[in-house]
Structure formats: structure tokens, C-alpha cells
Amino acid sequence: MNSLDQLRQHTTVVADTGDFDQLAQFTPQDATTNPSLVLKAVQQPRYRALLEQAVAAHPGASVTAVAEHLLVAFGVEILKVVPGRVSTEIDPRLSHDTAGSVTTARRLIQLYAAANIPRERVLIKLASTWAGIQAARELERQGIRTNLTLLFCLAQARACADAGVQLISPFVGRIYDWFKKTAGTSWDEAAMAGPNDPGVRSVVEIYRHYKRHGIKTEVMAASFRNSGQIIALAGCDLMTISPNLLAELAAASTPVERRLSHDGRIEASPAALTESEFNAALAADAMASEKLGDGIKQFIADTETLEQLIRSLQG
């Protein structure tokens, strides 16, 4: 078996793309999207029609409303290819707005329902801010499943578990990027590879915490920079992987063995984090606080660029 097929024996493979034409060749279970991926997709000629259709079908609608219809249109097309779920991200400008996030998420679910997509096949993505996590808590109570993204540390993961979210997406590659940049010329790529990669170590810590305490929230490692990071996390509940790395794994014969597992023993969970404890832990982690802020800013920038494209078609 190639490395991708071996990986599937230990981990559920998810495609990290808005390019649904690429999905069939990799047969992932689920797919994830974000504002950056959708923006990248609609700039390609073969996806331009989805953008034009979203604008034409909703004359007089706000750019935000058209953007929501476009995101759902991508999700609907993706669900024609994958048998499982699609993750659709809400407006990142609502990352610190709990009520606004809940309202937007419910609207997206209604749009999916209008397209005959049951809510069980949709995960609403929210940033792992305190406000985003509390929005997820309320959505889960309403039967809307959530995917908490831009997650960089155990404190965020603990708060997500406290809120009963369906799934978290800890970002391997962006953690790796931060530590590599901070180390500068002292960075030793070989010494920091595989299980020593700081992004890998972060996911392992979160995975072990969840399993040790019997937490049901799914761990989906995300944001990979190389296949070595993926192989080092074989056994994680899920991994969302870009098409180029899926292709690399499919073409490789590198052995993939289970690295993450749990012996089944369960310990009592620690007390739920308070908002002040969460904020203090995040503030004390320079990497996590910086990458969370940077990630939100980038998604906002790409959302605004997407809205500019919509305005240009609205005339």
C-alpha cells in the first residue's frame, strides 16, 4: 500500500480544499474549507461560475449574504463527492462576537437545509477565541455541530472540550512556522522533525489529554507543512490534508505506523476553565496568542477580498 492508504488504517483522512474537482481522486471521508481556500478557488476559471451564479441569484442582496450563499454552494458541491461532512466557516469578523456567530451559523444551516443537506453533514467552523467557543457551546445545544479552528494550545482545546464541541482543528504547520521563525539561524530542521516538531508535540499533548479524560471531542490535526508531520501523527482521530500533500502521500511508499493511541484508562477531568483563566493562559503563550490573532486577520483579509469580487459582479 502507498503511504496514504496506510495512513487511512489509523486515521480518518479529510481533504483541506475548496477545489472539489480534486476530491474524487483522494476519496477523503470529509472536507474542510475556509475563506482563504474559497477565495483561491473562485479565482480559477472553472469555479468562477459558482461566484457568478451566487451573485445573479440574489440581486440586491448584501455582499455578506451573497458570500454566505457562495460558501454553501461550495459545501453542497463538496458533499456530492465526499460521503461524510463538510466544514463551512462563518465570517471571521465575528470571531469575538458570540451572538453574531450563533445567528450566522444558524443562517448557514438554514441555507444548507434549503439545499436538502441535513445538518448532520455540516460542521460550522469558528475561531477558537473565548467568544467563538461560547458560540459553539450554544450551537451544540441546538444540535448544530461545530469545528473549532485556529487552535494552537491546550488551553483552547480544554475550553472547547468544556463547551462540548464536536471537533477541534489544532494547527500543526503554523505552530512549526512560529518556532522556526523565532529560532532563526539556530533552527535545526533535522533535529526538530517528526515527533520533535513543535506542532506535532502540541497535537500529541491535546490528543493525550482528551483520551486520558474520556473527552469525546474529535481531534483533527490541520495545517501541515510536510508529510513527515502527518506520518508523525498517524492515529490522530482525523487529519485535514491539502491536495498536494495527499498526492505526495499517494505517490510514496514510506511506512506509516500508528503513533497516537490510548490504553483505555480514564481519569477525572480537570475543572472547567473560566474566561479569565482561558485569557491568562492564552496571554502567557506568545505563540498561541500571536498565531490566533494573525489567523483571524488573514481570514478577514481574504473575506474582504472575496467581497470585493462580489461587488465587482454586482455592478
* 39-98 tens-digit pLDDT: 999 999 999 999 999 999 999 999 999 999 999 999 999 999 999 999 999 999 999 999
Residue 308 has pLDDT above 90, yes or no: yes
Which residues form the domain of 150?
A: 3-314
Residue 245 has pLDDT above 80, yes or no: yes
Name the amino acid, one letter, at 45: P
Portion of the chain with pLDDT greater than 90, in percent: 96
DSSP, residue by residue, 88-109: EEPPGGGTT-HHHHHHHHHHHH
* Cα 216 to Cα 297: distance, rounded to the nearest angstrom: 30
Q: How far is CA 183 from the centre of its chain?
A: 27
Q: What is the pLDDT of residue 47?
A: 92
- How many domains does the structure of the chain reveal? 1
Question: The CATH number of the domain where 94 resides is what?
Answer: 3.20.20.70
What's the pLDDT tens digit per position in 165-191?
Answer: 999 999 999 999 999 999 999 999 999
Phi and psi torsions of 240, nearest 5°: -105, 120
Question: Any residues with CB less than 8 A from the CB of 7 and at least 6 apart, and which?
Answer: 13, 230, 231, 234, 239, 249, 256
Q: What is the pLDDT of residue 315?
A: 77
How far from 253 is each of 1, 7, 164, 227, CA to CA, in Å? 7, 11, 38, 12
What's the pLDDT tens digit per position in 104-115?
Answer: 999 999 999 999
Residue 12 has pLDDT above 90, yes or no: yes
Q: What is the mean pLDDT of residues 194-218?
A: 97
Portion of the chain with pLDDT greater than 70, in percent: 100
Q: How far is CA 223 from the centre of its chain?
A: 8
Q: How would you label 73-96 residue by residue, b for 16+ Cβ within 10 Å and e otherwise?
A: bbbbbbbebbeebbbbbbbbebbe
Which residues are annotated as catalytic? 125
What's the pLDDT tens digit per position in 117-153?
Answer: 999 999 999 999 999 999 999 999 999 999 999 999 9
Q: How far is CA 27 from the centre of its chain?
A: 18
CA-based end-to-end distance of the chain: 53
DSSP, residue by residue, 118-181: -GGGEEEEEESSHHHHHHHHHHHHTT--EEEEEE-SHHHHHHHHHHT-SEEEEBHHHHHHHHHH
Q: What is the pLDDT of residue 24?
A: 86
Q: What is the pLDDT of residue 21?
A: 86
